[in-house]
Structure 1
Amino acid sequence: MSVRKNCSACCVCRPNSLLNLINDLLDVAKIESHELVLELHALNIADIVSEVGSIMSVRAAEKNLMLNIKCAARTELNIMGDAVRLQQIITNLVSNAVKFTDEGFVNILVKAEALPGAGRQVVIDVVDSGIGMSHAQTERIFDKFIQADPSISRRFGGTGLGLAITKQLTELMGGTLAVSSREGLGSRFTVTLPVENAAHDDLPPEIEPIAAPRTDARGHILLAEDYEGNIIVAQAMLEEQGYDVIVARTGKAAVEAFRAGGFDLVLMDVQMPEMDGYEATRLIREGEASGPGGHIPIIGVTANALVGDREKCLAAGMDDYMSKPFNPAQLEHLIGKYMPALKA
């Protein structure tokens, strides 16, 4: 019988299991002795979730998992909080979800809700299609040092403290952590946190989606994509391969970014706000025809690989197309096919 084990998020970044255990024990000791003090600053939860997604996207891609992120409007997620500890909570839950999911998806869902009076709360759900747990296992999953059976423990590792720490940190913030799961059908972990609004002037500036390409990269790729989960996965894959990636979140922004120049290849989502990928490609090709630059490869990207998609992409002026979810081997193959000088 498959059993989910309580593991630590730190195992993602620190392979030394003894160091993991020491750090987790220190966290437990600080929390239980009331020595852990939260450092409250203005933050935006969407930024933290995006960073966690970037960290975990490579591992998810290695397992061919869809890592999806859906957040409430950015203005609803400006809060006062401890960014380090909040990231620890989310990272631990997403790390567990990826670790115990062999196929399917991991979803990170964030919403803001009004409470009676003037209060608000943020609800963070981490949902996976993994091995799941029985009711008896969910009853004990937040206990310290809860492990799976020996075979699962040997396969996945971990200290058995991660979810216990996550629950304690959540409660330290005045919130709750709950789990629902069924064996073989995945799990849902829900963090509910009462929050205090942060003044907009106190928040760090939002990162601009369009920036000038770097000059020290292996190649420069324009990623035209509006869905944050796909952006995180594709950007992590391409940057790991040594490419500079500039993101445009609308078709109009993609055309404007392309006209600024400096790109070796474009990955063009066919469905985007303001202007779809087909129209954006037509405008890019019209500009190429009347300009001094050469032909830049454009690869269409679609979530639905249907009969006729390839022909529609080619008719719009694209060189090829690929389907989502993004696959590292397919990306590398297409880069090598259309930019052979950059393959090595």
Structure 2
Amino acid sequence: MDPYFDEARKLRNQNKIDLALETLDKAAEEAEEEEDVKGLIDCYHELALLYLQLDKESDTQFYWDRASVLLTDIAYPYGDAIHKYIEATLLFRADQSYQALFMLNEAKQLNNDRNFFNNILLTEALVYMKLEKYDSAAKNLNSLIVNTDIYEKNYLSTRAYLGLAQLYFKTENFEESAKNAEEALALANANSFFLEIRKANRLLSKVYSQLGAYQKAWANSQNLLKIQDSLFTIDKVKVEAKTADKIRDDYKTELIARQDGTIQELKESQNRSELTLILTSAFLIIISLLAVSLYRNNQIKLKTNDLLQTKNQELQVARDGAVQAMEAKTNFLSTVSHELRTPLYAVTGLTHLLLEENPADHQKEHLKALKFSGDYLLNFINDILHINKIDANKLEPLNMEFNLKKVINEVMDSLQQSAKENKTRLILDYDNEIPNHLMSDPLKLSQVFMNLIGNAIKFTRGGIVEVICRLKEKNGENVTVYFEIKDNGIGISKEKQQSIFDGFEQGSIQINREYGGTGLGLTIVKSLLGLFESEIELKSKLGEGSSFIFEIDMTSKDDLLDEVSFEITKGDYDFKGLHILVVEDNKINQVITKKMLNKKDISCDIASSGEEAVTLSQENVYDAILMDIHMPGISGEEATIQIRKFDQQTPIIALTAISLDDSVESFYAAGCNDVITKPFKPEIFYQKIGENIFDKKIRTSLS
């Protein structure tokens, strides 16, 4: 179905509705022939959206109802998500804005497809504008302007510019309105977005009239008249209406024919039914005789059911108690993990500063031990927070384009130092038949490889750790990749192999004391692979090594061009003379961050709140802003949104001790260029500052 849907989406955005309808009609016929229920549901949804664009809400409701019938008999989360999205759009058109927002949020929970998420952001923005929640609308629209959607990038950007133009017009900021409307018109003309060309000209005519630029207003009015009066437009409306009515009527005719056939079958079976009725009557007499003997048995069953119901209620109460206890534990551990990061930042930061000040040899030994303990504690806190996120269902797999070999190489490069310390060789056996461009979640895959390869290195000394990647199956765009992380280390005994994936489990107390670690790494791996609907297999013999095996289903994008290979080396930046704003409410953290900057000859101003940060940014020019997220008053995220209203250029780097409820995506949507998690390694701290100031790092959720 995908080629049909891609073509229909392209035609719809260019307002070639008649051709889009015909394309989807062919798709629906093919789905019916192949008995592809999910494909047919998707066709009905796409037809409903097209009829909505034609303002034929009754026809939209007709196809929405057809999809509803099919969804009752099949588990299809993506179909349910689109279903709720269409319902939200109908509610919005019926002036039920709050119900529409609720339904959009429901849809968002069911699917995280990037294109679907972007369309929800756009619809949310329209609802927010109707409710006059302009800040929320602007946040959504600004994030769509720089979207990376692989299907509708230019269309979504055009709609976002138009939305901002309308927002600024409503708030009487006519200069910004004109600026965004011109951006929208340029994109719409370049991509033949007919409806958006018309809307942009209409809005520019009104905006320039308000600004007194009557010549420009007249020019846009003339463009609008040419579009509206053209024979093409008149014929187009007629063709669209004729095509839409024909497809709908043909479908309804076919539906009636099916019902007539069913009625005829019922008539033919009427004679057979009379004979069946006689036999049924005789059967009922026999059943009636048996009913008396069954009566007593039923009385016994009723008493048993009453007892079972009582026990079920007791079990329900116990279950609710267990759920509440689990939620309390999750929230408690999340809070503790988050709160520990602030003092840990002081420990690691002060240790780094003391090591930089040429301490005596006996002091250096103690400081290195303190640094090791701080790093160990940080890894432990990160593992606990990660397990909490999984337990609280806060993690969902993303779906974005990436290069698998590059991801694995980056993980192996980061672990080379650990391998050298253990005198262990790392080997990558990679199948070149695996497509270069895959769609999945590279971040969570990196975490899986980091844990498995790191685990293998830890328990292998003077040996080999091999990472094997094989293309197991390729069917069209669907790809299955086989992975095996193999070592010749200490191995795992048979009796421990069943429990090794449980939390805080290692091979034995002796192993824990000798090798260290929390025993959470394999638990995290198992949970992350569960998000991909994959299971991990363990093969191991004590003293001979271990193999961890799993498979991942992905989607390939063969039509994408290979990226130009280049390497970004860690820069040795000259920071001297830079002036930075540090936004941080914790006094100790202020002192540590300032000293770390001064070490590189960077001067800084300190803002203790989000409000103060906005004020200082308006009054001064900074090379960059280091923004704490969690502060009293307005948060760092809100402060960033306010700063971006008057300053689009200065790099803003979020400094945050990320908690259970934080979303890195929301930081980027607010306008941050990068994120550094506290506590951080000093080299990463300086590297991020250098990249964002000197390299003008492009904002991306994978930074």
- TM-score under structure 2 length normalisation: 0.27
Q: Is it true that 1:112 corresponds to 2:471 in the alignment?
A: yes
Residue of structure 2 in register with 1:25 after alignment: 384
2 CA distance for matches of 1:96 and 1:82?
Answer: 21
Deviation at residue 123 of structure 1 after TM alignment: 1.2
Contact 1:68 1:108 in 2 (8 A): yes
Q: Which amino acid aligns with 2:383?
A: D
Deviation at residue 22 of structure 1 after TM alignment: 2.3
Question: For 1:101, which of 446, 454, 460 is the aligned residue?
Answer: 460
Residue of structure 2 in register with 1:207 after alignment: 565
Map 1:148-167 onto structure 2 (within 5 A): 148-167=507-526
Residue of structure 2 in register with 1:281 after alignment: none
Contact 2:433 2:471 in 1 (8 A): no
2 CA distance for matches of 1:14 and 1:118?
Answer: 47
Contact 1:20 1:159 in 2 (8 A): no
Q: Which amino acid aligns with 1:44?
A: N
Deviation at residue 63 of structure 1 after TM alignment: 2.5
Q: Is it true that 1:176 corresponds to 2:535 in the alignment?
A: yes
Q: Is it true that 1:137 corresponds to 2:489 in the alignment?
A: no
Closer/same/farther in 2, CA of residues 106 and 167 from structure 1, 3 Å limit = same
Contact 1:44 1:74 in 2 (8 A): no
**Relative contact order higher in (CA < 8 Å, ≥ 6 apart):** 1
2 CA distance for matches of 1:115 and 1:175?
Answer: 17
Map 1:280-319 onto structure 2 (within 5 A): none
Deviation at residue 113 of structure 1 after TM alignment: 1.4
**1:135-186 alpha-carbon deviations (Å, 9 max, x no partner):** 1111111111113433321222212111011011011012221110000100
Question: For 1:127, which of 459, 468, 486 is the aligned residue?
Answer: 486
The unaligned stretches of length 5 or more in structure 2 are 1-371, 574-703
Deviation at residue 132 of structure 1 after TM alignment: 0.2
Q: Which amino acid aligns with 1:111?
A: R
User: 1 or 2, which has the higher helix percentage?
Assistant: 2
Divergent runs of 4+, >4 A: 115-118
SS in 2 for 1:98: helix
Residue of structure 1 in register with 2:290 after alignment: none
Q: Is it true that 1:54 corresponds to 2:413 in the alignment?
A: yes
Residue of structure 1 in register with 2:451 after alignment: 92
**1:243-301 alpha-carbon deviations (Å, 9 max, x no partner):** xxxxxxxxxxxxxxxxxxxxxxxxxxxxxxxxxxxxxxxxxxxxxxxxxxxxxxxxxxx
The unaligned stretches of length 5 or more in structure 1 are 1-12, 217-344
Closer/same/farther in 2, CA of residues 66 and 40 from structure 1, 3 Å limit = same
Map 1:259-338 onto structure 2 (within 5 A): none
Closer/same/farther in 2, CA of residues 180 and 206 from structure 1, 3 Å limit = farther
Identity value in percent: 29
Contact 2:477 2:557 in 1 (8 A): no
Q: Which amino acid aligns with 1:170?
A: L
Closer/same/farther in 2, CA of residues 124 and 15 from structure 1, 3 Å limit = farther
Residue of structure 2 in register with 1:16 after alignment: 375
**1:292-323 alpha-carbon deviations (Å, 9 max, x no partner):** xxxxxxxxxxxxxxxxxxxxxxxxxxxxxxxx
User: 1 or 2, which has the higher strand percentage?
Assistant: 1
Deviation at residue 39 of structure 1 after TM alignment: 2.3
Deviation at residue 29 of structure 1 after TM alignment: 1.8
2 CA distance for matches of 1:147 and 1:67?
Answer: 23
2 CA distance for matches of 1:68 and 1:129?
Answer: 12
2 CA distance for matches of 1:117 and 1:41?
Answer: 18
Q: Is it true that 1:44 corresponds to 2:403 in the alignment?
A: yes
Residue of structure 1 in register with 2:268 after alignment: none
2 CA distance for matches of 1:171 and 1:45?
Answer: 19
Contact 1:48 1:87 in 2 (8 A): yes
Deviation at residue 120 of structure 1 after TM alignment: 2.2
2 CA distance for matches of 1:148 and 1:21?
Answer: 18
1 CA distance for matches of 2:564 and 2:550?
Answer: 24
2 CA distance for matches of 1:15 and 1:115?
Answer: 46
**1:179-200 alpha-carbon deviations (Å, 9 max, x no partner):** 1000010000112111111355
2 CA distance for matches of 1:178 and 1:14?
Answer: 33
Q: Is it true that 1:146 corresponds to 2:499 in the alignment?
A: no
Q: Is it true that 1:194 corresponds to 2:553 in the alignment?
A: yes
Aligned CA RMSD, in angstroms, stands at 2.8
Max Rg structure = 2
**How many residues were matched structurally?**
201
Closer/same/farther in 2, CA of residues 207 and 74 from structure 1, 3 Å limit = farther
